[in-house]
Structure 1
Amino acid sequence: MLQLRHRIRPFVWSKLGDGKDTSIWFDRWVEQCPLSPMISARQIIRAGFSLDSRVANLCYNGVWNWPDQWRSDYPILNSLPGPMLQSEIKDELGWVDVEGNVTDYSSKACWNTIRMTQAEVSWSHVIWFSQSIPRHAFLVWLIVRKKLKTQDMLMQWNKNGNSNFNLMCCSLCKKGPDSHNHLIFECSFSSQIWSRVKILAEVPYVSNKWEDVLHWLIIKSKLRSFKNVIGRLLVAATAYFVWQERNLRLFIHQTRPPDVIIIQIKSTIRLKLVTFRFKNTMVVDHWLKVWKVPREIGFIKK
């Protein structure tokens, strides 16, 4: 935040009380402030004021103590309202939000004010939801935005026509291309994994093509049912461990059979489910049995 203070400072607002903690020159307490860009430090010192002067030092009973010459040299001073200071109340810092309202400061308010905003994409709830596993969610975000460093992406950097780029193929099946669509989940290796784990989410009808998987996730993403949460977790975990296996084979020549990866996926989801809090319903009981999660864990009794 210190590095961003040039962007944050315009949104920091001083709510006047006794005026003893608010700089008359450098703080923002009315729309016309701060005054320092208009009145130089030299002029402030020449007029007999201090750079450390507070609002209380120059305002008494709502009347400003400006030099007469300043009123013509700096017309903006004539538009400054004279605040009625309250000796029993201390000054407080506030935050001006995106709508121009002065509110209490929070990191959320700060972020929402300075960040660039755009329309929400249709897949946002597919990736970012309270029960997600962060590292899995980040990988799905990369997949959705076509940002994984697969061969089809690296080909875009092949400006010199290096023929080695054309020789690489999928490190999992050794047949298809090393591309987003092939890897998730059209490759015979990843397809085998996805076909077996999707049964645990009771969605056998979802195909192995990423576009179809993403379309199904988008349709269900805003539903908070147990089944839909598991479906999103399962897709993300499968993609994560498939991508991990691809990199292990490509860079350190380590291989694992599909059964081992499936066990890892199940174990990861099961450990995540253990952290949830459930209502004691028949639907929840069904899913806990499917995933072999003890019923005693995480229940909210009716």
Structure 2
Amino acid sequence: MTVTLLFFWVDDWLQVGKLLDITGAVGTYYLGVSRNARVSDAVTQAHWSIRGHRNRHFHDLYARIRNERIPHDEYGSDLVLWKHSEDNYKPHFSSSRTYDQIRIRRSKVGWSKSVWFSQEVPRYSFIVLLAVKNILSTGDHMRAWGIQQSCVMCGEPDETRDHIFFACPYTFTVWDRLAGRLSGGRSDPNWDTTLQFITNNDLGSIDKILIKMVFQTCIYYMWKDRNERRHQRGFRTVDQAVRVIDKAIRNGISSLRYKADHKLAGLMQRWFEVF
């Protein structure tokens, strides 16, 4: 493969990385190759046209370039390949393969399936993600801004993520009413216990989907309820909150439109049974 089409400074044609990263901007001056030059521009009459043998800067790089085979038409046409993985190049581009190479990989977290799953509602899962990472603007975080915020639903002076979901008597009552029968009476006011149960439980396949939908919908509307109360935009009783969340769950199930899938088509029927 010849390299005449590659850019001298920003393409890894020497297999040592970008030359511009090695030399910095001054490299263009010391090697005498312009910033936008291609590799072929650094060749004159079948010889490398670079300077540096009398310069004390970048001796090793200069020697490496001089030892590289000079691009020439007799070696064939340039071939453009896309890197799919380490030492794996193909003629077609893959966005997923490219993303895998540039993203920062971290170990998979245990709660991921409680946040992202096929039946999720994106706006619900986003709030759940913020809750799981404990970065919602709860009272304990707002103290750093000089704002004192107690729980507007029960009056607890220390409003935290764990209190709202679901140590608060109001939110736990709503959560228990919605998830109690579905979880087999295992609804718990402790956040860690609840998240662990949503992530790993021995429920049937339909109930596993439903409990995650209930969990996400409940968190979304309890957080919305908290904000509406804080800004004096409304107040819902437990019964009203349960009805709102129940309707949202039913709408979410109806929007799935999996009539051909008997397992998912049974979601609504099962929800009628347990609620």
**TM-score, L = length of structure 2:** 0.73
Q: Does structure 1 residue 192 correspond to structure 2 residue 173?
A: yes
1:219 aligns with one of 200, 211, 227: 200
Provide closer, same or farther for how the CA distance between residues 183 and 28 of structure 1 changes in structure 2, counting only shifts above 3 A: same
Q: CA deviation at 1:152?
A: 2.9
**Percent identity over paired residues:** 21
Residue pair 2:258, 2:265 contacting (<8 A) in 1 also: no
- Size of the aligned set, in residue pairs, is 261
Q: CA deviation at 1:170?
A: 1.9
Q: Does structure 1 residue 178 correspond to structure 2 residue 159?
A: yes
Match of 1:3 in 2: none
CA distance, structure 1, for counterparts of residue 11 and residue 244 of structure 2? 56
Further displaced range: 235-244 or 136-145: 136-145
CA deviation digits over 1:213-255, x for unaligned, max 9? 111012149x993321221121011011011101101113421
Residue pair 1:171, 1:249 contacting (<8 A) in 2 also: yes
CA deviation digits over 1:29-63, x for unaligned, max 9? 23035445558434665xxx776554456679xx9
Match of 2:28 in 1: 41
Aligned positions of 1:1-302 closer than 5 A: 16=1, 19-32=3-16, 34-35=18-19, 40-42=27-29, 53-56=37-40, 65-67=47-49, 74-82=62-70, 91-92=79-80, 94-95=82-83, 97=85, 99=86, 101-102=88-89, 105-155=93-143, 157=144, 165=148, 168-174=149-155, 177-199=158-180, 201-220=182-201, 225-273=205-253, 274-277=255-258, 280-281=261-262, 284=264, 286-291=266-271
Q: CA deviation at 1:86?
A: 7.9
CA distance, structure 2, for counterparts of residue 240 and residue 260 of structure 1? 15
The one-letter amino acid paired with 1:174 is G
Residue pair 2:40, 2:71 contacting (<8 A) in 1 also: no
CA distance, structure 2, for counterparts of residue 268 and residue 280 of structure 1? 21
Residue pair 1:201, 1:234 contacting (<8 A) in 2 also: no
Q: CA deviation at 1:176?
A: 6.6
RMSD: 3.9
The 3-state SS of whatever aligns with 2:134 is coil
CA deviation digits over 1:183-215, x for unaligned, max 9? 112222212211221157454322233222111
Provide closer, same or farther for how the CA distance between residues 68 and 270 of structure 1 changes in structure 2, counting only shifts above 3 A: closer
CA distance, structure 2, for counterparts of residue 131 and residue 86 of structure 1? 58
CA distance, structure 2, for counterparts of residue 239 and residue 252 of structure 1? 20
Provide closer, same or farther for how the CA distance between residues 211 and 44 of structure 1 changes in structure 2, counting only shifts above 3 A: closer
Unaligned runs of at least 5 residues, structure 2: none
Q: CA deviation at 1:142?
A: 2.1
The one-letter amino acid paired with 1:149 is S
Match of 1:10 in 2: none
CA deviation digits over 1:115-138, x for unaligned, max 9? 433322221222122332222222
Residue pair 1:234, 1:269 contacting (<8 A) in 2 also: yes
